[in-house]
Structure 1
Amino acid sequence: MKRLALLCLLLPMLAVPAHALRCGTRVVTDGDRDFAVRERCGEPFYVDQFTSVSVRGADGPLETQIEDVYDVWYYNFGPRRLMVRLLFLNGRLQREETLGYGVTTIGDSCNLDALPAGTSAGEIIAYCGEPAARRNQRRANVRRDGLGNERYTPVRVEEWTYDFGDKRLLRVLTLQNGRLQDISAEGR
């Protein structure tokens, strides 16, 4: 009876979280290193990267700057499963986000008119493929606490241009921090 009670207490600790990503029979959870995730799930179909910088002791005798590197990986598991966006901070998995349904072939399901604001960059690549051209503009928001500490957070503004061939307008997508903000049409 004591063994059964002990087993009942230990089982919840051994259970896999309901939100954990499963790659075949392997499980990926928050805190896993990027190389372990790649080993379990394979190569992502799209990767994005950005950084932020924290400053301690600004304007003092000793200033320390710490750069954090964020990697965003996108996985497509086919049209019957949801795509997954994984956010890594300095090589460790921080967050998993499920997206829309995957595609059979990258770029074969493009309907820009159906993409809502907030669609992730990886979803756009999955549905429409790589854009014909990209233009980037980088800005930063700086937060200061008045005690010599600052945090520089990038604001990434991207312009992606899609060219669908003869007699059609160019479509220009504006993304901010990896999310769709606007779609416009331009003449050739």
Structure 2
Amino acid sequence: MKYLCALSLLASMAAHADTMRCDQQLVSSGDLLTMAAEKCGPPTEKREYSMPATYRNSAGDLVADPSKAPIQHREWTYNFGSSRLMMRIYAVDQKINKIETLGYGK
């Protein structure tokens, strides 16, 4: 029973993390993406895309707002090697909003 409790706790922790460690420094949700680059170096993999700013019109439909700049999304993946778990950072307009723990690196 203790084994199952420990295993379920470990699985829930691995699915989502709000903080990642790079050497002796921490990067957390709410930090700027530039802080991650300063503390952890360049990511192994980058994915960048933009989405139009949207609003709901009077009919309740979600429509693009041409008067606003597109929202910039970035996903950075860090592979720290085969003995450590990989981490993925999700950022919107340069602000980290999620840090996800992945499997072991290569």
TM-score, length basis structure 2: 0.70
**Structure-2 change in CA distance of 1:19 and 1:32 (3 Å):** closer
8 Å CA contact 1:83–1:101 kept in 2: the answer is yes
For residue 52 of structure 1, what is the amino acid of its counterpart? M
1:93 equivalent to 2:93? Answer: no
Matched with 1:46 is: 45
Counterpart of 1:35 in 2: which secondary structure? Answer: helix
8 Å CA contact 1:72–1:87 kept in 2: the answer is yes
Counterpart pick for 1:84 among 81, 84, 87? 87
Number of residue pairs matched?
Answer: 83
CA distance in 2, matches of 1:64, 1:86: 29
Identity among equivalent pairs (%):
30
Counterpart of 1:79 in 2: which secondary structure? Answer: coil
8 Å CA contact 1:56–1:64 kept in 2: the answer is no
Matched with 2:23 is: 24
Alignment gaps of 5+ in structure 2: 1-16, 58-64
Q: Report 1:1-188 matches (<5 A).
A: 19-56=18-55, 64-103=67-106
Counterpart of 2:68 in 1: which secondary structure? Answer: strand
Higher relative contact order (CA 8 A, sep 6+): 2
Deviation, structure 1 residue 20? 1.4
Matched with 2:61 is: none
Alignment gaps of 5+ in structure 1: 1-17, 104-188
CA distance in 2, matches of 1:41, 1:80: 17
Counterpart of 1:65 in 2: which secondary structure? Answer: coil
CA deviations on 1:85-138 (whole Å, 9 max, x unpaired) are 1001100111011111001xxxxxxxxxxxxxxxxxxxxxxxxxxxxxxxxxxx
CA distance in 2, matches of 1:19, 1:65: 29
CA distance in 1, matches of 2:83, 2:20: 15
Q: Please give the root-mean-square deviation of Cα atoms over the aligned residues, in Å.
A: 2.2
